[in-house]
Amino acid sequence: MANLTCSVRYAKGVGEKRAQLFKKLNIKTVSDLLYHFPAHYEDRSNVAPIGQTSPGKRQVIQGQVLLVNQFKITKKLSVFKAAIRDNSGVIYAIWYNQSYLSKLVKKGKELVVSGKVELKFGQKQIKVEDFEFLSGDEKDNLHLRRIVPCYPLTEGLSQRMLRRIIKTNLEEKSFYLIDSLPYEIRKRYSFISLPEALNNIHFPEDFSRQKEARRRLVFEELFLLQSALALKREEHKKESGIPFSTDRELTSSFFHHLPYSLTLSQKKVIREILEDMRSFRPMNRLLQGDVGSGKTVVATLVLLTAIANGYQTALMAPTEILAQQHWLNLRQLLAPLNIKVALLVSDLPPGDKKEIRTGLKEGRIQLVIGTHALIQKEIDFNELGAVVIDEQHRFGVMQRLSLRSKGKSPHVLVMTATPIPRTLALTSYGDLDLSIIDELPPGRKSVITRWISGSKRRELYRFIGEKLKEGIQAYFVYPLIEESDELDLKSAQEAADRLQSHIFPDFRICLLHGRMRREEKERIMDSFREKKIHILVSTTVIEVGIDIPNASLMLIENAERFGLAQLHQLRGRIGRGARQSHCFLLTGQKISPQARQRIKIMCKVKDGFLLAEEDLKLRGPGEFFGTRQWGMLNLKIADLIKDAQVLYLARKEAFQLVRKDPGLKNYPQLWEEINRRFVQQLDLVKVG
């Protein structure tokens, strides 16, 4: 094993310089190299007789060099040409800008060439993509006369180089490969051995062998991940938590004073949560519910329960605006109950920060609401009993675990509105129990969503003007790719000014963006909440969590720039009151077919889960979470859509195995491989 975990720079044919390039491909160890899989293959196994090649096709030919010729077309473009013959005909092989070939490709040599065949001036030629000499001793055909792997590359590395390096190291290292898949599983699914699988994923003998190899490697990848999650879950179970009493006066009076009655879904998840909180092991639960399904009230219950039992609590949100909204709501709600609530965000004056820090440390503050500022090192609690993380999809697994580590096994509830397709949920949140709110509060009308063409803008403004007169408020959203992008920011500012002076002079319009100072953001949100502002022109800072039921209109500019998940989040800001809500999507002049499809789906599909599935199909899991990618989703071969069935199977097997042998005592190789792969993400502790 030692040999596989060592740095790739010591692998044969690599060295310091190439190791730097490999780093860009996320290849750090020899093992990473062997697990750098082809993105696709090219079938060059059939050599065509030259006389039967047909123009327009990619083909492989083999023959003897009759004569060569080299000339310049322009100063920068030179051509090297070789006539090649077999017993069926002659063809010209063409290379561009490779004059050094004149030293290698000489009359009489035997060549194998692959490339696209074309007809030029009545003469067949082949534009060379790859070639090899067919000399007596060089029998290894790595690039031709076989199914050839094509790898993801980076500048400075070529396919030929990578093939050679991988082939050499496969041969050299296959002795050290240790199969981490348990024998009984290999047998049950008749998987091929690990060396065989690696050989056939890189250099398949034929496509059916490649399929077999892939089947095994996909299973292996998902099985290892699921085993890690199963172990983490076992670990959670072993911890002793704080059993809370859940029928305190505080919580019941809170429910009595709610202005509405809970939906059946809300009641169901509350039951599940309270059961967790009563038990001796800490809750680790994911609450999933579409935007507007009413997760906040559930979160409040968790916080109140812990507070009623004499513990401190924390609520973490991904943006300052959302943290502040929670703070406003909860402070109001909890003030009469004499509960001390603090807001902790990063740009507080140092004095205030310090006061909160000591308040938390000494246990005077019972609830702290904040952004990621909460997980900084200096923050200590006296006795943290429960943690809620809102919009978890904006945080990483590590952040969840680090907030949790500020207490002794506190109860943890993470909430997300980003509807995560089941396959993703099982991979990113696989160590958590799952509760789902699958209905919206009664009386909600689904948001009417329409794609408006630029020529109808005037009409649209007229419609919005009328609604504003009725007292309805609106969001106008401008996409900023980066909040730091001055140009985009400027255009949002100009748009706000123009709307104010030319289009809606009788209404109050304000711009809100992420780079404003906190007090300013607060002031603007407050005025909007108090209906002093009619149109809030904003960047995507309003994307998550904002809850202002009177705002039931939304206009999204350049909607083609957003992904489906984000559009859904944005649209989730409206449709929160009893009134019919409208969402208008405007797009730029040039829009890609993909974007067009997204917009159409948005207009049709309202259900977040269906949208998420569509999004996953359109974009793939890598981009699903955008740049906030999960370390854990670093999948090399499994495809969560194509391989969903394998995922379920791998999960079943992994959880069964871990239940049977929670310390993996009988599976030391599996244990080792899991640790090697996930040590950072999961911080596993060997049990038993």
- Residue numbers of the site for ligand ADP (CB under 6 A)? 260, 262-263, 266, 289, 291-297, 417, 441, 547, 549, 576
- Strand extents, DSSP E, 345-421: 367-370, 384-389, 411-416
Choose between 126 and 436: whose C-beta lies nearer to ligand ADP: 436
Of 62 and 325, which has the nearer Cβ to ligand ADP?
325
* CB of 389 vs ligand ADP, minimal distance in Å: 13
Closer Cβ to Mg ion, 318 or 545, answer by number: 545
Query: CA end-to-end span of the chain, whole Å?
Result: 24
Choose the contact partner of 534 out of Mg ion, ligand ADP, none; CB within 5 to 8 A by kind.
Answer: none
Q: Tell me which residues touch Mg ion (CB under 5 A).
A: 545
Least distance CB 311 / Mg ion (angstroms): 23
Q: Which of 425, 354, 416 is nearest to 388 (CA)?
A: 416
Residue 605 interface partner, choices ligand ADP, Mg ion, none, CB cut-off 5-8 Å depending on type: none
User: Which is closer to Mg ion, CB of 479 or CB of 545?
Assistant: 545
Residue 213 amino acid letter: A
Closest listed residue to residue 611, CA positions, set 563, 544, 643: 563
Residue closer to Mg ion by CB (options 315, 524) is: 315
Is 547 or 639 the residue whose CB approaches Mg ion more closely? 547
Q: What does 549 bind: ligand ADP, Mg ion, none (CB cut-off 5 to 8 Å by kind)?
A: ligand ADP
Q: Which is nearer to ligand ADP, 320 or 643 (CB)?
A: 320
Q: Which partner in Mg ion, ligand ADP, none is near 318 (CB below 5 to 8 A by kind)?
A: none
Q: How would you label 437-476 residue by residue, b for 16+ Cβ within 10 Å and e otherwise?
A: bebbbeeeeebebeebeeeeeeebeeebeebbeeebbbbb
User: Between residues 65 and 386, which has the closer beta carbon with respect to ligand ADP?
Assistant: 386
Cα–Cα distance, 536 to 557 (Å, whole number): 13
The residue among 149 and 292 lying less far from ligand ADP, judged by its C-beta, is 292
Name the minimum Å distance from CB 621 to Mg ion. Answer: 24
Kindly state the smallest distance separating residue 562's Cβ from ligand ADP, in Å. 18
Going by DSSP bridges, is the β-strand pair 110-120/89-96 parallel, antiparallel, or unpaired? unpaired
Between 199 and 296, CB nearer to ligand ADP: 296
Residue 593, CA distances (Å) to 600, 615, 618 in order: 11, 14, 11
Shortest reach from residue 56's CB to Mg ion, in Å: 56
Q: Between residues 19 and 297, which has the closer beta carbon with respect to ligand ADP?
A: 297
Q: Find the shortest distance in angstroms from Cβ 256 to ligand ADP.
A: 14
Rounded to whole angstroms, the Cα distance separating 227 from 553 reads 47
Query: Residue 269 Cβ, how far from ligand ADP at the closest point, in Å?
Result: 11
* Tokens coding 503: 């289009």
How far lies 201's CA from each of 41, 140, 170, in Å? Answer: 10, 18, 11
Closest contact distance (angstroms) between CB of 326 and ligand ADP is 9
The two tokens of residue 517 are: 């100072």
Nearer to Mg ion, 294 or 430 (CB): 294
SS (H, E, C) 67-116: EEEEEECCCCCEEEEEEEEECCEEEEEEEECCHHHHHCCCCCCEEEEEEE
d(CA 159, CA 167): 12
Of 545 and 621, the one with the shorter C-beta distance to Mg ion is 545
Amino acid code (one letter) for 119: L
Q: Least Å distance between CB 440 and Mg ion?
A: 13
Residue whose Cβ sits closest to Mg ion: 545
Burial 336-373 (b: 16+ CB within 10 A, else e): eeebbbbbbbeebeeeebeebbebbeeeebbbbbbbbb
Distance from the Cα of residue 261 to its chain's centroid: 36
Give the pairing of strands 58-72 and 78-86. antiparallel
Distance CA 36, CA 162 (A): 10
- Give the shortest CB-304-to-ligand ADP separation in angstroms: 15
Beta strands in 206-306 (DSSP E): 284-289
Strand partners for 289:
437
- Residue nearest ligand ADP, Cβ-based: 294
Shortest distance, CB of residue 393 to ligand ADP, whole angstroms? 13
The shares of helix, strand and coil residues in the chain, as percent rounded to the nearest 5, are 45, 20, 35
96 binds, among ligand ADP, Mg ion, none (CB under 5 to 8 A by kind): none
**Do residues 162 and 150 touch, judged by C-beta distance below 8 A?**
no
Q: Give least dist CB 275 to Mg ion, A.
A: 23
Residue closer to Mg ion (CB basis): 148 or 403: 403
Considering the complex, what minimum distance in angstroms separates the CB of residue 170 from Mg ion?
50
Under a CB-based contact definition with an 8 Å cutoff, are residues 189 and 225 in contact? Answer: no
3-state secondary structure at position 389:
strand
Q: Which is nearer to ligand ADP, 441 or 514 (CB)?
A: 441
Are residues 608 and 568 in contact, defined by beta-carbon separation less than 8 angstroms?
A: yes
List beta partners, residue 63: 111
- From ligand ADP, Mg ion, none, which one binds at residue 289 (CB under 5 to 8 Å depending on kind)? ligand ADP
**Shortest distance, CB of residue 419 to Mg ion, whole angstroms?**
13
DSSP string, 478-540: ---SSTT-HHHHHHHHHHHHHIIIII-TTS-EEEE-TTS-HHHHHHHHHHHHTTS-SEEEE-G
Reading the block at residue 498, the tokens are 């123009």
Cβ closer to Mg ion: 213 or 302?
A: 302
| CA 612, 269, 681, 319 torsion-angle sign | positive
CA dist 543 → 154, 460, 528, 585 (Å):
35, 23, 16, 15
- Round to whole Å and give the CA distance between 295 and 269: 10
Nearest-angstrom CA–CA distance, 209 and 201: 8
| Shortest distance in whole angstroms from residue 531 CB to ligand ADP | 16
Contact 450/582 with Cβ under 8 angstroms?
yes
Q: How far is the CB of 297 from ligand ADP (least distance, A)?
A: 5
**Among ligand ADP, Mg ion, none, what does residue 195 contact (CB within 5–8 Å per kind)?**
none
